[in-house]
Chain A
Amino acid sequence: MQKLNQTIVKQRGAVLILMAFIIGLGVLAYLLQAFDPARIRLEQDKKTMQALNEAKQALIGWAVSHPNTPGLMPYPDRKTDGNYDDTADCYASNVNFNYIFTLGRLPLFKNDPNCVNTKNNVVIGISGDFRDSSGERLWYEVSKNLLHDYKDNGGNPNGTSPIINPGIVNNPAYPWFTVRDRSGAVISTRVAVVIIAPAEPVGGQDRSGGIADPNQYLDKITMADNTVYENYNYPTSDINVKEFIIGENLKTVAQNDTTYKDQSVEPYYYNDKLVYITIDELMAALEKRVGEEVRNALKRYHDTNGFYPYAAKLGSAKLYACETNNLTGFLPVTNPAPTNAICNYNRAGLNVAANCGAGGFAEVASILFRKTATNFTSSSGACNFSGRDCNCTGAGNCTRGVQIFQCDANANCDTAGTTSGEVRFMGGEFDATTMAGTCNTPTAGNTCQTSAVDVRCAGIGAGSVTRNVCTDPVLNAGTSQMPAWIMNNRWQDYLYYETTRPMVGITVGNRAVGAMIATTGRPLNPPQIRPSCARGDYLDSARNVSADSDYEPTSALRNNSYNDQTFVVLP
């Protein structure tokens, strides 16, 4: 009985109470875990960043696949047209561009009629229902360098598209954006597009009514030194550099953080999330499109003709026409192909005469006359003088007293008043092997048409130089015609090309190919000067620059000293 008593004494329900306690603890732990603010914020940030990155990819895709001007970006959906309707808001041809047009919501679904009417934009938005974790639409600001100007600036009702090629990376018409990190340090000064997730309203932002100003969505930060970075503003002028800041969420910034202005004076309110597209990123993607278009044209050309066209001279500033037996250089994009041309020179006594046949000034960039001694003192018409040189691009003359060098509109030039000197035919893209008589500089093989090596004719007697038509069928025509935007945007200045006949001898990576192209990208440092006849002014790595027809693989990665992109062209 004693034992039974002890057992009963022991069983007083403590285990039940303990169980209830443990379960209670479990519930508490679960609730704490389920509603842990840090974890919830992490999940929200992840969702927002995913939406931002998807929007970025869609936007790059939209720009790269643009049918008329690849690289062009859509106008944002801005408040100032009266609503936020997920539509790109362009403007009428009688309206001037305004920087207020560059900031708004990401235009998701379509373009307004002004975009469509000019035929310079595609008729659909970027196609994606992108929202941040708070359900807000994403915002978007774009550089003027990548926007179509709808204003009719005199006889052009469709407005003007920017020329988008690697040239705008180093020399944009308007400054690229700058993006800074939480402490105000510069992350990039070459930003073309910024996409911002506004998140929930903070600091008294009021988004009621559905048509609030940008500053009701996007935030600003005042640094300790009173510098203010406002994500909701746009450039104030064509030279103003718009600066964005990727700040830290206000929930993780301590009250005593000295990076920012004293929070007892100005509370820190910032919860934007931001991604950006640099012009280098966009250009790398665009160069792929260009390369693919050209590659396709060359393949079709080969399908039709059984060979690839001869190349145009590297350094061409004028014709981009194929030259017989020339295997490396620019792509021969000229259509129609130029005709035969001959420029003549003759000196009898002290008088000099020069002409370029029926084509006249169309065959050359200019005709330059250099006096033997003493400088010119004046010029008129389409001639300009500099020291002893008189450079004519049309009818005009240069004089010194009675001494004169003159040209008519058909490039019939001569001297009078005992004016002796030599003539240079500039930019005619002649074949050096055709130089004859007193036209004897530069030497054969050095035919690149930059100012230093144009054809020089000097001395007593007659001379001439000829440009013979390449007999290859025209590349940029028929089934191998390339999109008009390639030449409109002058991509021919950024395309290197090599072929072989018969097709042996070129390697790209470890592949033997019949033809290759490379997009040359923006000029890099040490300074690449273009146009130039030097391969090294276009191509970057030693392997690409060397004349052994061996090139980097198509997968070679870009870096600060290499931005070539090679493409293999196969039959």
Chain B
Amino acid sequence: MNIYFNKKFAGFTLVEMAIVLVILGLVLSTLLLPLQAQRQQLAQVQTENTLQNVKQALLGYAQSKGRLPCPATAATNGLEAPLGGNVLCTSQLGYLPATTLGIQPTDADGFAVDAWNNRIMYAVAQNSTTNAPANTATPDYTTNNATDGMNVVGLANLTPELRVCNSSTGVIAAACSGGAETNYLINNAVAVIYSTGATGAQASGGADENLNPKIPTNPKSVFVSHGIVAGSLNEFDHLVTWISPFVLYNSMIQAGQLH
């Protein structure tokens, strides 16, 4: 029986096991920490790609339909609201109308989602110019009929109103700041698309994130975008992109949808 106490045949001692486990723990933690960061990075890249695809889909939609789609609402299951545009959109900021655009991936209700399975938000310009010939008062950017729409109004009369500010400081109802507007990244966007980021399912992180709602809001024309800021007070991890009016106009001109 003394074979069990013979050092020659013994396994690890408790101390050796502890050392091995500590080393294994260290190794695993160095593996898992970057892995977590890598997963976040991958999710971010994936969402950025999705947003890029969304922009292309919106431009393609405008090229074929002569207008942008209205945002979807909670009740429309990925379809623009109202269908067919041509009147004021139900909500200026809403969910991306993924079914209307044919965008993937979507959640079970047909809404486009980011890599964290949160719905992608979409706002569209609702300004209306009424001084063009035969023009009526429906929103120029989401209308295309005989009496109104971008092609009826004409390039020279279009005035998109969406803003993306570089911070929430000084933001007023319809502009990034009062007086001479300065702190904007764009003050004439035709569409703003954003993901609410990794913490999208949690409560809003602060003043900057508060300006990018997670639910349909009407009217809503001012948003915030800047790099990711960690922390609890003014945390910001939204991924915001937008469509420049010039890119939209040129796309539509090339497709014969705008003069």
* Chain A contacts to B: CB under 8 angstroms: 1, 4-5, 8-9, 11-13, 16-17, 19-20, 23-24, 26-27, 30-31, 34, 50, 54, 57-58, 60-62, 64-65, 67, 109, 124, 126-129, 285, 288-289, 292-293, 295-296, 300, 479, 483, 554, 567
**B249 touching A285, Cβ below 8 Å:** no
- Pull 25 A–B residue pairs with CB atoms less than 8 Å apart, ordered by A: A8-B3, A12-B11, A16-B20, A20-B23, A23-B28, A27-B30, A34-B34, A34-B38, A54-B247, A57-B250, A58-B247, A61-B246, A61-B247, A62-B246, A64-B246, A65-B249, A65-B250, A109-B185, A127-B189, A129-B185, A285-B254, A293-B259, A296-B154, A296-B259, A483-B156
A34 to B256, CA, bound (A): 46
Q: Give the shortest distance, in Å, between B8 (CB) and chain A (any CB).
A: 9
**A30 touching B244, Cβ below 8 Å:** no
* Chain B contacts to A: CB under 8 angstroms: 3-4, 9, 11-12, 16, 20, 23-24, 27-28, 30-31, 34-35, 38, 52, 133, 151, 154-156, 184-189, 225, 244-251, 253-254, 256, 258-259
**A58 touching B244, Cβ below 8 Å:** yes
Shortest beta-carbon contacts, A-B, top 7: A61-B246, A61-B250, A292-B259, A127-B244, A296-B259, A65-B249, A62-B246
Specify which chain A residues have a CB less than 8 angstroms from the CB of B20 in the assembled complex. Answer: 13, 16-17, 20
**A9 touching B9, Cβ below 8 Å:** yes
**B244 touching A65, Cβ below 8 Å:** no
A67 to B247, CA, bound (A): 15
Specify which chain B residues have a CB less than 8 angstroms from the CB of A300 in the assembled complex. Answer: 133
**A8 touching B246, Cβ below 8 Å:** no
- Chain A contact surface mostly: helix
Specify which chain B residues have a CB less than 8 angstroms from the CB of A61 in the assembled complex. Answer: 244-251
Q: Give the shortest distance, in Å, between A123 (CB) and chain B (any CB).
A: 9
Apart from A34-B38, A554-B256, list 7 A-B contacts with CB within 8 A: A4-B3, A13-B12, A61-B244, A61-B248, A61-B249, A64-B250, A127-B246
Specify which chain B residues have a CB less than 8 angstroms from the CB of A285 in the assembled complex. Answer: 250, 253-254
Specify which chain A residues have a CB less than 8 angstroms from the CB of B188 in the assembled complex. Answer: 124, 127
Specify which chain B residues have a CB less than 8 angstroms from the CB of A65 in the assembled complex. Answer: 155, 245-246, 249-250, 253
Number of A-B contacts (CB under 8 A): 110
A554 to B100, CA, bound (A): 28
**B11 touching A288, Cβ below 8 Å:** no
Specify which chain B residues have a CB less than 8 angstroms from the CB of A58 in the assembled complex. Answer: 244, 246-247
Specify which chain B residues have a CB less than 8 angstroms from the CB of A57 in the assembled complex. Answer: 247, 250
**A292 touching B250, Cβ below 8 Å:** no
A27 to B34, CA, bound (A): 10
Q: Give the shortest distance, in Å, between A213 (CB) and chain B (any CB).
A: 26
A12 to B20, CA, bound (A): 14
Q: Give the shortest distance, in Å, between A491 (CB) and chain B (any CB).
A: 14
Residue of A nearest to B255 (CB): A288
**A128 touching B258, Cβ below 8 Å:** no
Q: Give the shortest distance, in Å, between A84 (CB) and chain B (any CB).
A: 15
**A20 touching B24, Cβ below 8 Å:** yes
Specify which chain A residues have a CB less than 8 angstroms from the CB of B133 in the assembled complex. Answer: 300, 479
Specify which chain A residues have a CB less than 8 angstroms from the CB of B35 in the assembled complex. Answer: 30
Q: Give the shortest distance, in Å, between A555 (CB) and chain B (any CB).
A: 10
Residue of A nearest to B160 (CB): A127
A19 to B21, CA, bound (A): 11
A109 to B164, CA, bound (A): 11
Specify which chain B residues have a CB less than 8 angstroms from the CB of A479 in the assembled complex. Answer: 133
Contacts A23-B24, A292-B259, A295-B259 given; indicate if A64 touches B249 (C-beta within 8 A). yes
**A27 touching B250, Cβ below 8 Å:** no
Q: Give the shortest distance, in Å, between B102 (CB) and chain A (any CB).
A: 22
Q: Give the shortest distance, in Å, between A267 (CB) and chain B (any CB).
A: 33
Q: Give the shortest distance, in Å, between B52 (CB) and chain A (any CB).
A: 8
Contacts A20-B23, A292-B256 given; indicate if A128 touches B250 (C-beta within 8 A). no
A23 to B24, CA, bound (A): 8
**B254 touching A127, Cβ below 8 Å:** no
A5 to B8, CA, bound (A): 11
A65 to B158, CA, bound (A): 11
Q: Give the shortest distance, in Å, between A2 (CB) and chain B (any CB).
A: 10
**B31 touching A23, Cβ below 8 Å:** yes
Contacts A65-B155, A293-B259 given; indicate if A129 touches B249 (C-beta within 8 A). no
Residue of B nearest to A554 (CB): B256
Specify which chain A residues have a CB less than 8 angstroms from the CB of B259 in the assembled complex. Answer: 289, 292-293, 295-296
Specify which chain B residues have a CB less than 8 angstroms from the CB of A19 in the assembled complex. Answer: 24
A126 to B189, CA, bound (A): 11
Residue of B nearest to A31 (CB): B34
Specify which chain A residues have a CB less than 8 angstroms from the CB of B253 in the assembled complex. Answer: 64-65, 285, 288-289, 292
Q: Which of B3, B11, B247 has the most CB of A within 10 A?
A: B247
Specify which chain A residues have a CB less than 8 angstroms from the CB of B11 in the assembled complex. Answer: 8, 11-13
Specify which chain B residues have a CB less than 8 angstroms from the CB of A64 in the assembled complex. Answer: 246, 249-250, 253
A12 to B154, CA, bound (A): 83
**B34 touching A296, Cβ below 8 Å:** no
Q: Which of B23, B28, B38, B259 has the most CB of A within 10 A?
A: B259
Contacts A12-B11, A13-B11, A61-B250 given; indicate if A23 touches B27 (C-beta within 8 A). yes
Specify which chain A residues have a CB less than 8 angstroms from the CB of B186 in the assembled complex. Answer: 109, 127-129
Specify which chain B residues have a CB less than 8 angstroms from the CB of A483 in the assembled complex. Answer: 156
Q: Give the shortest distance, in Å, between B10 (CB) and chain A (any CB).
A: 8
Q: Give the shortest distance, in Å, between B256 (CB) and chain A (any CB).
A: 6
A31 to B155, CA, bound (A): 53
Contacts A127-B186, A285-B250 given; indicate if A5 touches B245 (C-beta within 8 A). no
Q: Give the shortest distance, in Å, between A199 (CB) and chain B (any CB).
A: 19
